[in-house]
């Protein structure tokens, strides 16, 4: 028979476990300013819907950017973004994670490359591991990302990194450290986003220039969702195999995701550094390893 004392002890144990989990895993903020800060041109980032959404502005005076207040080691980061409509050539809307270290940088990039009206929007992904990047892949999106919000997600655990557009994986980078291939796992990364002008390369390799008569260029963000191990934070969080993103269901693509991934690779990839012999006469080892 459970006594009052034993019942109280059980409740306190349950409460302490709940608090430990709450401290180790960060979740969706109630508003933009709860988990993020403006890093570039505060006048060009406007909060809407009580701070639950924001508008990024690019004009001839400035672009803009924001970053998470904390860094994270492993987890999942996602945002809903509505990209610049109409003629957005020469613009780049970026959503990425970065270790913010000078020499040995880790970085996971989504870069949305503007287009001339009626042309497909291209998303470029890139991965830096232990200071080495130049792993670009480009995918033409199969919908108009300026017509409505879509969810863009980075999943990062000990097994792989997956870039998702809505529920569709568009890129997978596996942990092949056993084959001496670098994998980011030691440095926490912040979450960043910027809207800026890059018409020297962004659209058709720089052939299409930005048309400032179409400014201001506007992108919208909402539903900021970060679930990961904050740094500084509990020392054992990043190595805790009990974190949901380390679970069996997230150690590889499921059957539906694998089918969607093959569909993207077959129909929508327009550039892959792995097959660019002009840049890489010798195929990079991670490509041979089936990453």
Token pair of 64 as six digits: 């803009």
**Cα(68)–Cα(235) distance, integer angstroms:** 20
**Cα(126)–Cα(175) distance, integer angstroms:** 15
Question: In sequence order, what are the residues at sequence separation of 6 or more whose Cβ sits closer than 8 angstroms to the Cβ of residue 58?
Answer: 44, 64, 84, 91, 195, 196, 197, 215, 216, 217, 218
Residue of 19, 26, 119, 113 lying closest to 76 (CA atoms): 26
**Cα(217)–Cα(197) distance, integer angstroms:** 10
* Start-end of H helices in the chain: 4-24, 32-35, 255-267, 285-288
- CA torsion sign for 225, 189, 244, 160 is positive
Task: Give the three-state DSSP class for 4.
Answer: helix
Token pair of 225 as six digits: 């969702």
Active site residues: 107, 111
Question: In sequence order, what are the residues at sequence separation of 6 or more whose Cβ sits closer than 8 angstroms to the Cβ of residue 280?
Answer: 273, 274
């Amino acid at each position: 028979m459970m006594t009052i004392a034993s019942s109280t002890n059980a409740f306190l144990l349950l409460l302490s476990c709940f608090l430990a989990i709450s401290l180790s895993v960060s979740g969706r903020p109630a508003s933009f300013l709860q988990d993020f800060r403006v890093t570039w041109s505060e006048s060009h980032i406007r909060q809407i819907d009580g701070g639950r959404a924001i508008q990024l502005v690019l004009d001839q005076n400035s672009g803009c950017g924001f970053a998470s207040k904390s860094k994270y080691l492993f987890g999942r980061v996602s945002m809903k973004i509505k990209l610049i409509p109409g003629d957005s050539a020469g613009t780049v809307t970026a959503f990425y994670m970065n270790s913010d270290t000078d020499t040995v940088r880790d970085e996971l990039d989504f870069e949305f490359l503007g287009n001339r009206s009626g042309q497909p929007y291209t998303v470029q992904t890139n991965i830096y591991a232990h200071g080495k990047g130049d792993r670009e892949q480009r995918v033409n999106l199969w919908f108009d990302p300026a017509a409505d919000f879509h969810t863009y997600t980075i999943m990062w655990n000990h097994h792989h990194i997956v870039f998702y557009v809505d529920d569709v994986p568009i890129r997978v980078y596996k942990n092949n450290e056993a084959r001496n291939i670098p994998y980011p796992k030691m440095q926490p990364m912040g979450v960043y986003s910027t809207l800026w002008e890059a018409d020297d390369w962004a659209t058709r390799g720089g052939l299409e220039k930005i048309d400032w008569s179409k400014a201001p260029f506007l992108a919208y963000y909402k539903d900021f969702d970060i679930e990961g191990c904050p740094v500084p934070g509990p020392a054992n969080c990043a190595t805790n195999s009990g974190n949901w993103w380390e679970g069996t269901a997230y150690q590889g693509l499921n059957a539906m995701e694998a089918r969607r991934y093959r569909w993207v690779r077959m129909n929508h990839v327009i550039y892959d550094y792995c097959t660019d012999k002009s840049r890489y006469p010798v195929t990079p080892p991670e490509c041979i390893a089936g990453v």
